A = this chain, B = another copy of it.
Amino acid sequence: MSVKIKVGVLGSTGAVGQRFCQLLAHHPWFEIAAVTASERSAGKRYADAVDWRLGTPIPEDVGNLRVIPTKSEHMLGDVKIVFSALPADVAKKVEAMYADDGFVVSSNAASYRMFDDIPLVIPEVNSEHLKLVNAQRDNRGWSGFIVTNPNCSTIMLVMTLKPLMPLGLTDVKVATMQAVSGAGYTGVPSMGILDNVVPYIGGEEEKMEIETLKLLGEFDGKKVVNASLTVSAICNRVPVIDGHTESVWVNVDATPERVKEAMASLPPLKGLPSAPEQPVIVREEDDRPQPRLDRDVYNGMSVTVGRVRKDVATGIKYTLMGHNTIRGAAGASILNAEMLVDLGLVK
Protein backbone atom coordinates (compact mmCIF):
# COMPACT_ATOMS: atom_id res chain seq x y z
CA MET A 1 0.00 0.00 0.00
CA SER A 2 1.98 2.95 -1.26
CA VAL A 3 -0.21 5.64 0.29
CA LYS A 4 -1.89 4.96 3.59
CA ILE A 5 -5.65 5.26 3.98
CA LYS A 6 -6.62 8.11 6.26
CA VAL A 7 -8.80 7.09 9.18
CA GLY A 8 -10.51 8.74 12.14
CA VAL A 9 -11.18 7.51 15.66
CA LEU A 10 -14.53 8.48 17.17
CA GLY A 11 -14.53 8.67 20.95
CA SER A 12 -10.76 8.56 20.97
CA THR A 13 -10.12 9.47 24.61
CA GLY A 14 -11.93 6.58 26.33
CA ALA A 15 -10.44 3.18 27.13
CA VAL A 16 -11.29 1.61 23.77
CA GLY A 17 -10.48 4.82 21.92
CA GLN A 18 -6.99 4.76 23.40
CA ARG A 19 -6.55 1.17 22.23
CA PHE A 20 -7.54 2.23 18.71
CA CYS A 21 -4.90 4.96 18.77
CA GLN A 22 -2.29 2.56 20.14
CA LEU A 23 -3.00 -0.18 17.60
CA LEU A 24 -3.32 2.15 14.62
CA ALA A 25 -0.19 4.16 15.42
CA HIS A 26 2.17 2.12 13.27
CA HIS A 27 -0.38 0.41 11.06
CA PRO A 28 0.94 -0.42 7.59
CA TRP A 29 -2.29 0.47 5.78
CA PHE A 30 -3.98 3.11 7.95
CA GLU A 31 -2.96 6.52 9.20
CA ILE A 32 -4.84 8.35 11.91
CA ALA A 33 -5.79 11.73 10.50
CA ALA A 34 -8.52 12.69 12.96
CA VAL A 35 -9.46 11.98 16.55
CA THR A 36 -12.80 13.03 18.00
CA ALA A 37 -14.11 13.51 21.51
CA SER A 38 -16.77 15.51 23.32
CA GLU A 39 -17.08 19.27 22.83
CA ARG A 40 -15.21 19.82 26.07
CA SER A 41 -12.02 18.37 24.59
CA ALA A 42 -12.36 19.79 21.08
CA GLY A 43 -9.45 21.98 20.06
CA LYS A 44 -6.98 20.51 22.51
CA ARG A 45 -3.98 18.46 21.48
CA TYR A 46 -4.89 14.79 21.84
CA ALA A 47 -2.03 14.34 24.32
CA ASP A 48 -3.56 17.07 26.49
CA ALA A 49 -7.15 15.90 26.15
CA VAL A 50 -6.61 12.25 26.99
CA ASP A 51 -5.95 10.63 30.36
CA TRP A 52 -3.78 7.97 28.73
CA ARG A 53 -3.82 4.70 30.66
CA LEU A 54 -1.96 2.21 28.49
CA GLY A 55 1.48 0.81 29.23
CA THR A 56 3.05 2.24 26.08
CA PRO A 57 3.51 5.98 25.54
CA ILE A 58 1.03 8.04 23.49
CA PRO A 59 2.10 7.70 19.83
CA GLU A 60 3.74 10.99 18.99
CA ASP A 61 1.88 11.71 15.74
CA VAL A 62 -1.47 11.07 17.37
CA GLY A 63 -0.58 13.05 20.46
CA ASN A 64 -0.08 16.14 18.35
CA LEU A 65 -3.42 15.96 16.54
CA ARG A 66 -6.08 18.49 17.51
CA VAL A 67 -9.22 16.82 18.83
CA ILE A 68 -12.36 17.57 16.79
CA PRO A 69 -15.99 17.18 17.88
CA THR A 70 -17.71 13.85 17.20
CA LYS A 71 -19.96 15.03 14.40
CA SER A 72 -19.63 13.98 10.80
CA GLU A 73 -19.59 17.56 9.53
CA HIS A 74 -16.27 18.10 11.32
CA MET A 75 -14.61 15.01 9.89
CA LEU A 76 -11.86 15.65 7.37
CA GLY A 77 -12.87 15.02 3.80
CA ASP A 78 -9.99 12.73 2.92
CA VAL A 79 -10.73 10.32 5.76
CA LYS A 80 -12.18 7.08 4.37
CA ILE A 81 -12.82 4.99 7.47
CA VAL A 82 -13.92 6.01 10.95
CA PHE A 83 -13.50 3.65 13.87
CA SER A 84 -16.16 4.06 16.51
CA ALA A 85 -15.35 3.65 20.18
CA LEU A 86 -18.46 5.58 21.14
CA PRO A 87 -20.86 4.62 23.92
CA ALA A 88 -23.98 2.96 22.54
CA ASP A 89 -26.34 5.88 22.99
CA VAL A 90 -24.09 8.34 21.20
CA ALA A 91 -23.15 5.81 18.54
CA LYS A 92 -26.81 5.31 17.66
CA LYS A 93 -27.17 8.89 16.53
CA VAL A 94 -23.72 9.64 15.24
CA GLU A 95 -22.72 6.59 13.25
CA ALA A 96 -25.69 6.89 10.90
CA MET A 97 -24.67 10.44 10.08
CA TYR A 98 -21.15 9.36 9.22
CA ALA A 99 -22.46 6.59 6.99
CA ASP A 100 -24.88 9.00 5.36
CA ASP A 101 -21.98 11.35 4.66
CA GLY A 102 -20.09 8.63 2.86
CA PHE A 103 -17.74 7.32 5.50
CA VAL A 104 -17.11 3.66 6.16
CA VAL A 105 -17.91 3.18 9.82
CA SER A 106 -16.21 0.27 11.56
CA SER A 107 -17.94 0.25 14.90
CA ASN A 108 -17.28 -1.42 18.20
CA ALA A 109 -20.56 -0.04 19.62
CA ALA A 110 -23.57 -2.26 20.23
CA SER A 111 -26.16 0.08 18.71
CA TYR A 112 -26.44 -1.32 15.20
CA ARG A 113 -25.23 -4.87 15.66
CA MET A 114 -28.58 -6.59 15.54
CA PHE A 115 -30.18 -4.74 12.62
CA ASP A 116 -30.96 -7.02 9.69
CA ASP A 117 -28.99 -4.97 7.19
CA ILE A 118 -25.95 -4.28 9.33
CA PRO A 119 -23.10 -6.79 9.16
CA LEU A 120 -21.96 -8.14 12.51
CA VAL A 121 -18.64 -9.67 11.63
CA ILE A 122 -15.61 -11.58 12.85
CA PRO A 123 -13.53 -11.91 9.69
CA GLU A 124 -12.32 -15.45 10.42
CA VAL A 125 -15.91 -16.53 11.12
CA ASN A 126 -18.44 -14.87 8.82
CA SER A 127 -16.85 -12.42 6.40
CA GLU A 128 -19.52 -13.31 3.84
CA HIS A 129 -21.98 -11.32 5.99
CA LEU A 130 -20.22 -8.20 4.75
CA LYS A 131 -22.33 -8.53 1.62
CA LEU A 132 -25.17 -7.07 3.67
CA VAL A 133 -23.53 -3.76 2.94
CA ASN A 134 -25.26 -3.51 -0.40
CA ALA A 135 -28.70 -4.02 1.08
CA GLN A 136 -27.83 -1.54 3.81
CA ARG A 137 -26.99 1.20 1.35
CA ASP A 138 -30.10 0.51 -0.69
CA ASN A 139 -32.36 0.47 2.35
CA ARG A 140 -30.99 3.56 3.94
CA GLY A 141 -29.82 5.63 1.01
CA TRP A 142 -26.37 6.01 2.54
CA SER A 143 -23.27 6.62 0.47
CA GLY A 144 -21.16 5.09 3.24
CA PHE A 145 -22.05 2.15 5.47
CA ILE A 146 -21.69 0.66 8.93
CA VAL A 147 -19.97 -2.58 9.83
CA THR A 148 -19.92 -3.79 13.44
CA ASN A 149 -17.97 -6.24 15.51
CA PRO A 150 -19.54 -8.19 18.37
CA ASN A 151 -19.34 -7.70 22.08
CA CYS A 152 -15.94 -8.68 23.53
CA SER A 153 -16.98 -11.88 25.29
CA THR A 154 -19.02 -12.96 22.27
CA ILE A 155 -16.10 -12.66 19.85
CA MET A 156 -13.89 -15.06 21.74
CA LEU A 157 -16.67 -17.54 22.29
CA VAL A 158 -17.77 -17.56 18.66
CA MET A 159 -14.23 -18.03 17.36
CA THR A 160 -14.21 -21.33 19.25
CA LEU A 161 -17.77 -22.30 18.30
CA LYS A 162 -17.48 -21.74 14.55
CA PRO A 163 -15.27 -24.82 14.06
CA LEU A 164 -17.82 -26.89 15.98
CA MET A 165 -20.74 -26.13 13.66
CA PRO A 166 -19.91 -29.04 11.32
CA LEU A 167 -19.70 -31.29 14.41
CA GLY A 168 -23.38 -30.81 15.21
CA LEU A 169 -23.23 -28.05 17.82
CA THR A 170 -26.66 -27.59 19.42
CA ASP A 171 -26.26 -26.22 22.89
CA VAL A 172 -23.83 -23.82 24.59
CA LYS A 173 -23.50 -22.84 28.21
CA VAL A 174 -20.86 -20.31 29.16
CA ALA A 175 -19.80 -18.68 32.43
CA THR A 176 -17.50 -15.70 31.98
CA MET A 177 -14.86 -14.15 34.21
CA GLN A 178 -14.37 -10.73 32.68
CA ALA A 179 -11.65 -8.14 33.10
CA VAL A 180 -12.35 -4.69 34.49
CA SER A 181 -11.09 -2.91 31.36
CA GLY A 182 -14.26 -4.05 29.63
CA ALA A 183 -16.20 -1.48 31.63
CA GLY A 184 -13.99 1.47 30.68
CA TYR A 185 -11.52 3.30 32.86
CA THR A 186 -13.91 4.36 35.60
CA GLY A 187 -16.43 1.57 35.09
CA VAL A 188 -15.48 -0.63 38.01
CA PRO A 189 -14.52 1.04 41.31
CA SER A 190 -11.60 -0.63 43.06
CA MET A 191 -13.65 -0.98 46.25
CA GLY A 192 -16.12 -3.05 44.25
CA ILE A 193 -13.68 -5.58 42.85
CA LEU A 194 -10.55 -5.91 45.02
CA ASP A 195 -10.80 -9.27 46.82
CA ASN A 196 -14.16 -9.76 45.13
CA VAL A 197 -16.24 -11.12 42.25
CA VAL A 198 -19.29 -9.29 40.88
CA PRO A 199 -21.75 -11.78 39.39
CA TYR A 200 -23.41 -9.36 37.01
CA ILE A 201 -22.58 -7.23 33.97
CA GLY A 202 -25.57 -5.29 32.64
CA GLY A 203 -26.72 -6.47 29.20
CA GLU A 204 -23.74 -8.77 28.68
CA GLU A 205 -25.53 -12.09 28.88
CA GLU A 206 -28.19 -11.00 26.41
CA LYS A 207 -25.53 -9.86 23.95
CA MET A 208 -23.72 -13.17 24.12
CA GLU A 209 -26.92 -15.13 23.68
CA ILE A 210 -28.25 -13.13 20.72
CA GLU A 211 -25.15 -12.05 18.83
CA THR A 212 -23.84 -15.60 18.70
CA LEU A 213 -26.86 -16.75 16.70
CA LYS A 214 -26.39 -14.03 14.08
CA LEU A 215 -22.63 -14.58 13.81
CA LEU A 216 -23.01 -18.31 13.25
CA GLY A 217 -25.94 -17.76 10.86
CA GLU A 218 -25.86 -18.21 7.07
CA PHE A 219 -26.06 -15.39 4.56
CA ASP A 220 -28.63 -16.61 2.03
CA GLY A 221 -27.83 -13.99 -0.59
CA LYS A 222 -30.17 -11.43 0.92
CA LYS A 223 -30.12 -11.74 4.63
CA VAL A 224 -28.59 -13.66 7.52
CA VAL A 225 -30.54 -16.63 8.80
CA ASN A 226 -29.74 -17.13 12.47
CA ALA A 227 -28.11 -20.36 13.54
CA SER A 228 -30.23 -22.91 15.41
CA LEU A 229 -28.61 -23.08 18.78
CA THR A 230 -29.38 -22.43 22.37
CA VAL A 231 -26.84 -20.27 24.11
CA SER A 232 -27.00 -19.50 27.82
CA ALA A 233 -24.52 -17.16 29.49
CA ILE A 234 -23.70 -16.21 33.07
CA CYS A 235 -21.38 -13.21 33.20
CA ASN A 236 -19.07 -12.30 36.08
CA ARG A 237 -16.53 -9.57 36.71
CA VAL A 238 -13.22 -10.52 38.34
CA PRO A 239 -10.15 -8.53 39.49
CA VAL A 240 -8.23 -8.88 36.23
CA ILE A 241 -7.12 -5.91 34.13
CA ASP A 242 -7.23 -7.36 30.63
CA GLY A 243 -8.41 -10.73 29.33
CA HIS A 244 -11.79 -12.43 29.57
CA THR A 245 -11.81 -16.09 30.60
CA GLU A 246 -14.81 -18.30 29.81
CA SER A 247 -15.82 -21.75 31.08
CA VAL A 248 -17.77 -23.44 28.29
CA TRP A 249 -19.97 -26.51 27.86
CA VAL A 250 -21.02 -27.58 24.36
CA ASN A 251 -23.08 -30.40 22.99
CA VAL A 252 -21.31 -31.79 19.96
CA ASP A 253 -21.02 -35.25 18.51
CA ALA A 254 -17.25 -35.52 18.62
CA THR A 255 -14.28 -36.52 20.73
CA PRO A 256 -12.11 -33.96 22.51
CA GLU A 257 -9.34 -34.69 20.01
CA ARG A 258 -11.64 -33.93 17.10
CA VAL A 259 -12.78 -30.71 18.81
CA LYS A 260 -9.23 -29.56 19.45
CA GLU A 261 -8.23 -30.30 15.89
CA ALA A 262 -11.21 -28.40 14.56
CA MET A 263 -10.52 -25.34 16.72
CA ALA A 264 -6.81 -25.24 15.93
CA SER A 265 -7.68 -25.48 12.24
CA LEU A 266 -9.81 -22.35 12.02
CA PRO A 267 -8.06 -20.79 9.01
CA PRO A 268 -6.04 -17.63 9.52
CA LEU A 269 -6.64 -14.69 7.22
CA LYS A 270 -3.83 -14.20 4.77
CA GLY A 271 -2.46 -10.78 4.10
CA LEU A 272 -4.36 -8.75 6.68
CA PRO A 273 -1.90 -6.94 8.96
CA SER A 274 -3.80 -7.49 12.22
CA ALA A 275 -4.83 -11.08 11.57
CA PRO A 276 -3.11 -13.55 13.92
CA GLU A 277 -1.18 -16.41 12.37
CA GLN A 278 -3.33 -18.76 14.41
CA PRO A 279 -6.79 -17.49 15.36
CA VAL A 280 -7.43 -20.19 17.96
CA ILE A 281 -4.52 -21.67 19.88
CA VAL A 282 -5.20 -24.95 21.68
CA ARG A 283 -2.99 -25.70 24.68
CA GLU A 284 -2.57 -29.02 26.45
CA GLU A 285 -1.45 -27.88 29.91
CA ASP A 286 -3.98 -28.39 32.71
CA ASP A 287 -3.77 -24.82 33.92
CA ARG A 288 -4.04 -22.80 30.72
CA PRO A 289 -5.26 -20.46 29.33
CA GLN A 290 -4.57 -17.70 31.85
CA PRO A 291 -5.14 -13.99 31.18
CA ARG A 292 -1.75 -12.81 32.35
CA LEU A 293 0.19 -15.41 30.38
CA ASP A 294 -1.87 -15.72 27.20
CA ARG A 295 -3.59 -12.42 26.50
CA ASP A 296 -0.75 -10.90 24.47
CA VAL A 297 -0.10 -13.82 22.13
CA TYR A 298 -0.05 -12.62 18.50
CA ASN A 299 -0.42 -9.05 19.74
CA GLY A 300 -3.60 -9.91 21.59
CA MET A 301 -5.47 -11.08 18.49
CA SER A 302 -5.60 -14.85 19.15
CA VAL A 303 -7.98 -16.73 21.39
CA THR A 304 -6.39 -19.40 23.57
CA VAL A 305 -8.28 -22.58 24.46
CA GLY A 306 -7.42 -25.20 27.04
CA ARG A 307 -8.78 -28.07 29.09
CA VAL A 308 -10.82 -29.50 26.21
CA ARG A 309 -12.24 -32.69 27.66
CA LYS A 310 -15.24 -34.98 27.75
CA ASP A 311 -18.08 -33.85 29.95
CA VAL A 312 -19.57 -36.24 32.54
CA ALA A 313 -22.88 -36.27 30.69
CA THR A 314 -22.69 -35.83 26.95
CA GLY A 315 -20.65 -33.22 25.24
CA ILE A 316 -17.44 -31.39 25.79
CA LYS A 317 -16.22 -28.75 28.19
CA TYR A 318 -13.33 -26.33 27.80
CA THR A 319 -11.92 -22.96 28.81
CA LEU A 320 -11.11 -20.04 26.53
CA MET A 321 -9.43 -16.68 27.02
CA GLY A 322 -8.85 -13.64 24.85
CA HIS A 323 -7.77 -10.03 25.17
CA ASN A 324 -10.98 -8.09 25.58
CA THR A 325 -9.86 -4.64 24.50
CA ILE A 326 -7.73 -5.90 21.58
CA ARG A 327 -9.32 -9.02 20.02
CA GLY A 328 -12.55 -8.14 21.78
CA ALA A 329 -12.83 -4.47 20.78
CA ALA A 330 -10.39 -2.16 19.00
CA GLY A 331 -8.46 -4.95 17.28
CA ALA A 332 -11.72 -6.49 16.10
CA SER A 333 -12.85 -3.25 14.44
CA ILE A 334 -9.47 -2.77 12.81
CA LEU A 335 -9.48 -6.31 11.45
CA ASN A 336 -12.97 -5.71 10.06
CA ALA A 337 -11.69 -2.62 8.29
CA GLU A 338 -8.73 -4.50 6.88
CA MET A 339 -11.12 -7.11 5.52
CA LEU A 340 -13.22 -4.38 3.92
CA VAL A 341 -10.13 -2.95 2.23
CA ASP A 342 -9.11 -6.42 1.09
CA LEU A 343 -12.55 -6.97 -0.43
CA GLY A 344 -12.38 -3.64 -2.24
CA LEU A 345 -15.24 -2.15 -0.24
CA VAL A 346 -13.29 0.95 0.79
CA LYS A 347 -12.95 3.39 -2.06
Q: Does A164 contact B (CB under 8 A)?
A: no
Task: Find residues 217-263 in chain A having any chain B CB closer than 8 Å to their own CB.
Answer: 230-232, 234, 236, 238-241, 243, 245, 247, 249
> 0/1 per residue, A293-308, Cβ < 8 Å to B?
1011100000000110
Closest residue to A57 on the B side, CB-wise? B297
Q: Which residue of B lies closest to A53 (CB)?
A: B191
- The 8 A CB mask of A182-223 against B (1 = contact, 0 = none) is 000111111111111111101000000100000000000000
A59 to chain B, nearest CB (A): 14
B195 touches A194 (CB 8 A): yes
Q: Which of B56, B196, B306 contacts A291 (CB 8 A)?
A: B196
Q: A186-B186, A190-B194 are in contact. Are A311 and B232 (CB under 8 A)?
A: yes
CB proximity of A173 to chain B, nearest CB, Å? 6
- Given A195-B241, A197-B291, A231 and B312 contact (CB-CB distance below 8 Å): yes
Contact of A245 among B54, B199, B306, B313 (CB under 8 A): B199
The answer to the question of A72 belonging to the interface, with a C-beta cut-off of 8 Å to chain B, is: no
Residue A331 CB within 8 A of the other chain: no
Say yes or no: B240 contacts A197, CB within 8 Å: yes
A175 within 8 A of B: yes
CB within 8 A of A200: which of B240, B286, B292? B286
Which residues of B sit under 8 angstroms from A293, Cβ to Cβ? 53-55, 196
**Which residue, of A54, A198, A307, has the highest number of chain B Cβ atoms within 10 A?**
A198
Given known A-B contacts A199-B307, A230-B312, A296-B55, A239 and B194 have beta carbons under 8 A apart: yes
- Taking a contact as CB atoms under 8 Å apart, the answer to whether B191 and A241 are in contact is yes
| Total copies of the chain | 4
Check: A107 CB closer than 8 A to any chain B CB.
no
- Residues from chain B with Cβ under 8 Å of A186 in the complex: 186, 189, 191
Closest residue to A317 on the B side, CB-wise? B234
Q: Is A319 an interface residue (CB 8 A)?
A: yes
A322 contacts the other chain (Cβ, under 8 Å)? Answer: no
Contacts of A317 in B (CB 8 A): 232, 234
Q: Smallest Cβ distance from A232 to chain B, in angstroms? A: 5
CB pairs A–B below 8 angstroms (9 shown): A53-B192, A55-B295, A190-B193, A194-B194, A195-B195, A199-B245, A230-B313, A236-B319, A239-B239
Interface residues of A (CB under 8 A from B): 15, 53-57, 171, 173, 175, 177, 180-181, 185-200, 202, 209, 230-232, 234, 236, 238-241, 243, 245, 247, 249, 286-293, 295-297, 306-307, 311-313, 317, 319, 321
